Structure 1
């Protein structure tokens, strides 16, 4: 009788559901991880932007010279450049969720230095150190979570959360700029960002020995830099994103000066104008995922010329309502341009190197461009250059530079397609 008792023991009905659940599990984990990355990015960037406004307010309270305001960003981007060869290795040597947590705590340390009355430039440099290691992990995790055909959409979510964080971060910083508890509140937001990273599923490090040989890292960084600049699509993307972030860093301070001199707004209200840019960038990032998928990313390049023209048109504006509408347009053009260029660069970088290294190379190029443009703007402030010629020249430079990149892209396409046909 015992053999007869065995067949009913394994229940047959539960067997079919197991195969159905298995294919869905990886997708569900990826979605959860992406949501955690987006939330961590939102709160981390929220604190970054609020801290910048508060730091600018501290410089104003101390009657610091005008050139020190863009110098905040100079010190920030200098950290990116100095850590460029090692930031990608940090992202590859440890699980990216842990890297995101640790770097948020480093940013919290920069906030604490401000609370302890340390020179704002030094404190913001520490925030830059955290951000330099944070960025490769933030973007490098996306190609690990998602297939290439979803990279534009994922970048859209990350960029949209970043822009929303700029919107609320500027508003938060404007509210806290004269508050004694402002730095405490910003520190709490950094802690919240670190807590969000705990929801990212644990994943193995891509290369645990990435930090073992610093000299080799330097050589590898230069080799990776050469690989990306040798790739036609990556070269165009690097040129566009570097120019974009350099322009964005400078425009942030130009808008504050423009609001004060042309619109008569104080810092707390002028900073809020950046919310208009953020709103436009959210719309642009969403539209980019629909209109410029990866295979059509280059079609977004003419928008860079329109972006420069819109900046030039700012010189004609004297009313806050018109200014807000103009900045929404500028933000929308920026979002439409940036998202497909980021996705294209990530796709090419993933095929040639570790994703963390690719993002580190991108950050180094963008930071060097930002340093150069901020240095020029700081020199113009030191020389007391008038606002309107500075703003008009800035917009004209964007028109010429983006136009040159677009022409460069058109000339490269036949040779690249011909080479691909020969290889095929």
Structure 2
């Protein structure tokens, strides 16, 4: 039976597909697909935050919504790497985006929004490993760093613009228009996918789930047996779990404490994202793997500032503290990412290390969603939840510091 990707006429690839020119057409199509896909990912998130209350769902449902998104990241973690490498990566990207757009369109059929968003999450889980894996097949090795920078740059721009458009369109034109706009963004990503050359699979050996799962578990155990890798995985997982939780806490806090809507929620998230970019830039100058303890102090500062932020009402102070939360977040997570990549390269290769990292990050995120959904179900105030969040993150940093001292990591 033919699939959509079989029907789509991918251009035939030449024997040597890697280009010595950075801005070649296939790479531009990958960048375009990534931009529109990430744009839609963020726009639909903010549209759904507004959509749920209109359907009578309680405030804790937003945490369950995010949990439904990361579910397939966890379930498919042992499989998606092989899936991406055993097929043409352009076709994998197409299928990932097709699942995302299907999830969005099903909202118009009154399908449960949690199931719809879970389908979007499945598409994202399939899409993720192919996004970076395809770059080495399109450009020469000396251009890989620049190609990665272009992908990251387009993603950051899409995150900022997607948050703005998701909040603004939902507020000014309504939820239905926002969902239609999201579907169009995913459609643009699909069209871009059609112009990516059909590349030969990196792996031709047929594997079964029964063989992939033990291999993933072996890699997981090996990385956690390494003190440096374990420290890096736990540290990055705590950050991304906290970052996801903070997005939802901001949604509750803005509505309860400030009495404002989704456009303000989106704006606050944009400000934090800008801060993370600044922090990531500063981390390259201020912190190395040898001075990694500084990253933990940045994590402590992030938790303390979040708790202080929860009492504020003046917009200038709020903006300033949100930027600082982002800056300290960037100073914290970038060095830990570097440590993980180094540890993964020394042990089982960066690709498998990243697969384990994704599994750990989304597992922690799912746990945090469950914890704060429960607190929200108890009808605790958003301010109290924000204070608790800051305190818990500081305690997590203390635990990481104790682990580093116990293992004599630095």
Q: TM-score, normalised by structure 2?
A: 0.84
Is 1:188 the equivalent of 2:184?
yes
CA distance in 2, matches of 1:100, 1:269: 32
Deviates more, 1:356-365 or 1:34-43: 34-43
Q: Call closer, same or farther: CA 1:134–1:288 in 2, change over 3 Å.
A: farther
Q: Of 350, 356, 368, which aligns to 1:361?
A: 356
Determine the structure 1 residue equivalent to 2:5.
none
Query: For 2:110, what is the secondary structure of its paired residue?
Result: coil
CA distance in 2, matches of 1:220, 1:388: 44
Determine the structure 2 residue equivalent to 1:377.
372
Is 1:137 the equivalent of 2:160?
no
Determine the structure 1 residue equivalent to 2:202.
206
Q: Of 208, 222, 226, which aligns to 1:231?
A: 226
Is 1:52 the equivalent of 2:45?
yes
**Contact 1:29/1:201, CA 8 A, preserved across alignment:** no
**Contact 1:96/1:205, CA 8 A, preserved across alignment:** yes
Query: For 1:318, what is the secondary structure of its paired residue?
Result: coil
Determine the structure 2 residue equivalent to 1:221.
216
Listed one character per residue, the Cα deviations across residues 164-205 of structure 1 (whole Å, up to 9, x for unaligned) are 322211111112321533222111211223344566676543
Query: 1:59 offset after TM fit, Å?
Result: 1.0
Q: Call closer, same or farther: CA 1:174–1:30 in 2, change over 3 Å.
A: closer
- What does 1:321-360 correspond to in 2, within 5 Å? 321-353=316-348, 355-360=350-355
Query: 1:220 offset after TM fit, Å?
Result: 0.9
Query: For 2:260, what is the secondary structure of its paired residue?
Result: coil
Query: 1:56 offset after TM fit, Å?
Result: 1.9
Listed one character per residue, the Cα deviations across residues 254-291 of structure 1 (whole Å, up to 9, x for unaligned) are 10111112222122333322111122122223333444
Determine the structure 2 residue equivalent to 1:265.
260
**Contact 2:22/2:147, CA 8 A, preserved across alignment:** no
Query: 1:130 offset after TM fit, Å?
Result: 0.8
Deviates more, 1:179-188 or 1:378-387: 179-188
Q: Call closer, same or farther: CA 1:104–1:227 in 2, change over 3 Å.
A: same
CA distance in 2, matches of 1:59, 1:386: 19
CA distance in 1, matches of 2:377, 2:76: 29
Determine the structure 2 residue equivalent to 1:91.
84
Query: For 1:180, what is the secondary structure of its paired residue?
Result: helix
Is 1:123 the equivalent of 2:116?
yes
Q: Call closer, same or farther: CA 1:325–1:132 in 2, change over 3 Å.
A: same
Determine the structure 2 residue equivalent to 1:318.
313
CA distance in 1, matches of 2:402, 2:269: 31
Is 1:166 the equivalent of 2:164?
no
Where structure 1 has 5 or more consecutive residues not aligned to the other structure, the ranges are 1-24, 416-424
**Contact 2:43/2:182, CA 8 A, preserved across alignment:** yes
CA distance in 1, matches of 2:55, 2:32: 35
**Contact 1:159/1:285, CA 8 A, preserved across alignment:** no
Where structure 2 has 5 or more consecutive residues not aligned to the other structure, the ranges are 1-17
Listed one character per residue, the Cα deviations across residues 353-404 of structure 1 (whole Å, up to 9, x for unaligned) are 4654333221111111011111010001111112222211110111121232
C-alpha root-mean-square deviation of aligned residues, in Å?
Answer: 3.1
Query: For 2:258, what is the secondary structure of its paired residue?
Result: coil
CA distance in 1, matches of 2:345, 2:107: 38
CA distance in 2, matches of 1:218, 1:28: 39
Q: Call closer, same or farther: CA 1:328–1:42 in 2, change over 3 Å.
A: farther
CA distance in 2, matches of 1:350, 1:37: 26
**Contact 2:72/2:122, CA 8 A, preserved across alignment:** yes
Query: 1:63 offset after TM fit, Å?
Result: 1.7
Q: TM-score, normalised by structure 1?
A: 0.81
**Contact 1:139/1:359, CA 8 A, preserved across alignment:** no
Q: Call closer, same or farther: CA 1:64–1:244 in 2, change over 3 Å.
A: same
Is 1:240 the equivalent of 2:235?
yes
Query: For 2:390, what is the secondary structure of its paired residue?
Result: helix
CA distance in 2, matches of 1:207, 1:113: 34
Listed one character per residue, the Cα deviations across residues 94-142 of structure 1 (whole Å, up to 9, x for unaligned) are 2434322321121111111113221110100000101112222234456
Q: Which has the larger radius of gyration?
A: 1
